[in-house]
Structure 1
Amino acid sequence: MLMYPRIDPIAIQVGPLAVHWYGITYLAAFGLFLLLANRRLRHQPFARIEGPGAWSRRDVEDMLFLGVLGVIAGGRLGYCLFYKPAYYATHPMEIFFIWQGGMSFHGGMLGVIVSQWWYARSRGKPFWQVLDFVAPCVPLGLAAGRVGNFINGELWGRAADPSLPWAMVFPQSGSFVPRHPSQVYQFLLEGVLLFVLLWLYARRERREAQVSAAFLVGYGVFRFIAEFFREPDAHLGLLSLGMSMGQWLCVPMVVAGILLWLWARRRHPATATA
């Protein structure tokens, strides 16, 4: 049984200026996106597109800028709507208090989709081509975010068997019960493993929208599994069928991914190798 190593959430402090580790992990996520997206420019079909629709590093930078806005706006609104709708309905101004914490991946994903729809429309690029470009570059950024969760000692796991070698006590939970380090599970599943699988899948040219569909299914399945080890939100607990809010949000995500993959297969029956 391990004890959570208390880590100062502030990485650097100079006078009143404090740089938090969580902010650094966000910067790492954006840096990883830039690195991977520039490599993605070499993949098909993006590498062979010429003329006005050609892909460039400027596209990567613009997509990242809009994506950051989508993550912040969508993540915050998603948390308010999915996890505490009654509270924020009576305290609407606190929706803007993002420094108090409270972000939702599913909301952030919807925000990114909207931002990339706007980008595709403004640049005259096919919407699904844009999302297929972005999807494999996302998981390592999610992994960086889970590192931030661990450093902050938040989103700890459910109670674990004390004999589990990596069971960990999180004093922040208000008890000394050994727990699953669910942040690490999510780092490995939704971050590293999803990245490896999706990057390998996307290296070959696929039918338009199938890479996006693979991301939806992959993340939804891995997050659903990880939620069995993650402590549910205290104000929600477990919902219908003994499932957490995170699991319920993953169900439509997986269903949408499967339907999208099948739709793409029927829409482009002879243009790709999936």
Structure 2
Amino acid sequence: MLSYPQIDPVAFALGPLTVHWYGLMYLVGFIAAWLLALRRSERPWSPVRRTQVEDLVVYGAFGVILGGRFGYVMFYNLDKWLSDPLWLFRVWEGGMSFHGGLLGVLIALWLFSRRINQSFLALGDFVTIMVPIGLGLGRIGNFIGQELWGRHTSSWLGMVFPSDPLQLPRHPSQLYQALLEGLVLFLVLLFFTRKPRPVGMVSGLFLALYGSFRFVVEFFREPDGHIGFDLFDWVTRGQLLSLPMIAVGVGLILWSWLRPGNIDTVR
């Protein structure tokens, strides 16, 4: 059995202010996305000019934070919000959803694409490769914060999280997600975008791969205690939310590949 590394979830404190590793991971993710966007904006087919990257990152940050919080409330804690509407704004109590963050980013990209007069799909293709960086770092933050751990296991991969009241050996599913949704997805997209691709294909590949990776890892991740399984005593809320991503992703890939005259390049 693996041993959980004793890492304090609080990175540092400045007087009454405590800074958690999870928050730092978000900050590092945004900085990394900004730097990567600056570099990729120099490509001749980029829909974003170097001078527009900073505004793009700001739009994306608001989409992630607002959408992530709203999605967590709507998808996972609707009853709690209905009984306490102001809980939506108490972000310091924790709670973010990737699927909500994705919707928030899509809205932000649509608004930004209109502002710079560029194709929404082209802008999506440009941004997509930056997303796995934040995903991977965020899952590492989950691991350090001892949250969203995995299901009980008797395999050598199990570890006991100190904050687990049951003290059971569990899959470190946060690290599985960091590997698949972060590193592997980033490397695949990086390789795939080495040359221009038809508009929409990169976005479709991201949606299909992330949805598939998330669907698989959910088999190792402990379902939310207040929700459990949604279908057949094995389908989780995360899997249900990932199925539309896979369908839309595959459909977007086929549309991009088969659409007559789609010779535009990836942005």
Give the TM-score, by structure 1 length.
Answer: 0.92
Q: Distance in 2 between matches of 1:15 and 1:160?
A: 40
Partner in structure 2 of residue 202 of structure 1: 193
Choose which of 256, 259, 262 in structure 1 pairs with 2:254: 262
Deviation at 1:173, TM superposition (A): 2.2
Change (3 A) 1:59 1:71: same
Structure 1 stretches of 5 or more lacking a match? 47-53
Residue 186 in 1 paired to residue 177 in 2? Answer: yes
Partner in structure 2 of residue 132 of structure 1: 125
Contact 1:79 1:104 (8 Å CA) reproduced: yes
Specify the SS of the correspondent of 1:238. Answer: coil
Partner in structure 2 of residue 40 of structure 1: 40
Residue 176 in 1 paired to residue 167 in 2? Answer: yes
Choose which of 63, 67, 70 in structure 2 pairs with 1:74: 67
Residue 3 in 1 paired to residue 20 in 2? Answer: no
- Flag as ranges the 4+ runs of structure 1 deviating above 6 A: none
Q: Distance in 1 between matches of 2:11 and 2:152?
A: 29
Counterpart residue identity of residue 195, structure 2? R
Specify the SS of the correspondent of 2:13. Answer: strand
Deviation at 1:181, TM superposition (A): 0.3
Partner in structure 2 of residue 17 of structure 1: 17
Deviation at 1:236, TM superposition (A): 0.6
Residue 100 in 1 paired to residue 93 in 2? Answer: yes
Change (3 A) 1:272 1:129: closer
Number of paired residues?
265
Q: Distance in 2 between matches of 1:254 and 1:211?
A: 13
Partner in structure 1 of residue 108 of structure 2: 115
Change (3 A) 1:56 1:44: closer
Specify the SS of the correspondent of 2:223. Answer: coil
Specify the SS of the correspondent of 1:236. Answer: coil
Q: Distance in 1 between matches of 2:66 and 2:245?
A: 20
Counterpart residue identity of residue 147, structure 1? I
Question: CA offsets, 1:16-72, max 9 Å, x none?
Answer: 2222211111111001101221222244522xxxxxxx6322221111101110111
Contact 1:44 1:203 (8 Å CA) reproduced: no
Choose which of 141, 149, 155 in structure 1 pairs with 2:148: 155
Question: CA offsets, 1:191-210, max 9 Å, x none?
Answer: 00000001111221111111
Q: What RMSD, in angstroms, separates the aligned Cα atoms of the two structures?
A: 1.6
Q: By percentage of residues, which structure has more helix?
A: 1
Specify the SS of the correspondent of 2:11. Answer: strand
Contact 1:159 1:179 (8 Å CA) reproduced: yes
Residue 29 in 1 paired to residue 26 in 2? Answer: no
Specify the SS of the correspondent of 1:2. Answer: coil
Q: Distance in 1 between matches of 2:44 and 2:210?
A: 23
Contact 1:132 1:211 (8 Å CA) reproduced: yes
Contact 1:217 1:254 (8 Å CA) reproduced: yes
Partner in structure 2 of residue 248 of structure 1: 240
Q: Distance in 2 between matches of 1:58 and 1:168?
A: 47
Contact 2:22 2:141 (8 Å CA) reproduced: yes
Counterpart residue identity of residue 258, structure 2? R
Partner in structure 1 of residue 203 of structure 2: 212
Residue 238 in 1 paired to residue 194 in 2? Answer: no
Deviation at 1:167, TM superposition (A): 1.4
Contact 1:44 1:204 (8 Å CA) reproduced: no
Q: Distance in 2 between matches of 1:153 and 1:268?
A: 49
Deviation at 1:270, TM superposition (A): 5.4
Identity %: 47
Give the TM-score, by structure 2 length.
Answer: 0.94
